Amino acid sequence: NFENDVNDETSATLKRIRASKKVSMIDDVDLDGISNNLKSHRLLDRSEKILDSVGLNDSPRRAIENGTSSYKRKALKVTFDGDANDELDKWTPIENVRAVKARQQEQVTSVRARREDASASIRSDTSAAMRARQTKERITDIEDEMAAMAEKQAAREARVARLRALVAETEQESEAFEVAQAAIERRSARREKLQD
């Protein structure tokens, strides 16, 4: 029963640790993706600014007018929510660049906070497991001490029982001895009377 409890607690702790590691790995992948996107946008912006300053890069409007522009195709992920409003938005406002950067920074901060929370919970889990192990070892020691004390108590009770039996036997023998001695004294007293 005790071993089953220990095994159950150990397996539960391992499952929590593994789950937190999976979450942190997913967060790491998300964080890497966000940082790679930010780096690539920065590099593109810098290279365009450098090319514009030298005059090698035409503005997008001039490139379209000259017909020398190239288009990038991006795959869009489209999802349909049947419960949502069926009205389609005709237009959506372009988000402010600062707001987008602030939101990305918040995502990075939240990922870091989740990682710190996960590592703190792992540390508390390991320290709690260590305290539980120490407590269980102490309980085992106490149970062993109690078993040893019970054995000593049983040995004492056996000695007391033997002593009581010995005392009772001695009392019986002394009573028998006294009776025999009294009988001998009476006989010797009768003999003396008869001889006189």
Q: By three-state DSSP, how is residue 73 classified?
A: coil
Residue 161 lies inside a defined structural domain of this protein: yes
Q: Is residue 182 part of a domain?
A: yes
Q: What pLDDT is attached to residue 27?
A: 63
pTM summary value? 0.30
Residue 88 resides in a domain: no
DSSP 95-156: PPHHHHHHHHHHHHHHHHHHHHHHHHHHHHHHHHHHHHHHHHHHHHHHHHHHHHHHHHHHHH
Distances (CA, A) of 185 to 109, 171, 176, 188, 195: 111, 21, 14, 5, 15
- At which residue do the structure tokens 């085992």 appear? 140
| Neighbour count for residue 122 (Cβ, 10 Å) | 16
DSSP code of residue 20: H
- 25 within some domain: yes
Instruction: Report pLDDT for 155.
Output: 92
The count of structural domains within the chain is 1
In a domain, 76, yes or no: no
Report yes or no on 87 lying in a domain.
no
- Tell me the C-alpha distance between 170 and 165, whole Å: 8
Give the range of the structural domain holding residue 123, as residue numbers without chain letter: 2-68+96-195
Give pLDDT, residue 69. Answer: 54
Per-residue pLDDT tens over the stretch 25-81? 666 667 677 778 888 888 888 877 777 777 666 555 556 555 555 555 566 565 655
Say what the pLDDT of residue 148 is. Answer: 92
Low-confidence ranges of the chain (pLDDT < 50): none
Please give the Cα distance from 162 to 30 (Å, whole number).
80
Reduce the secondary structure of 157-195 to three states and give it as a string: HHHHHHHHHHHHHHHHHHHHHHHHHHHHHHHHHHHHHHH
Within a domain: 86: no
Radius of gyration of the chain (CA): 48
Angle at 148 between CA 143 and CA 154, to 5 degrees: 125
The C-alpha atoms of residue 184 and residue 191 are separated, in whole angstroms, by 10
pLDDT of 145: 92
Q: How far, in Å, CA of 76 to CA of 188, rounded? A: 133
Answer whether residue 83 is part of any domain: no
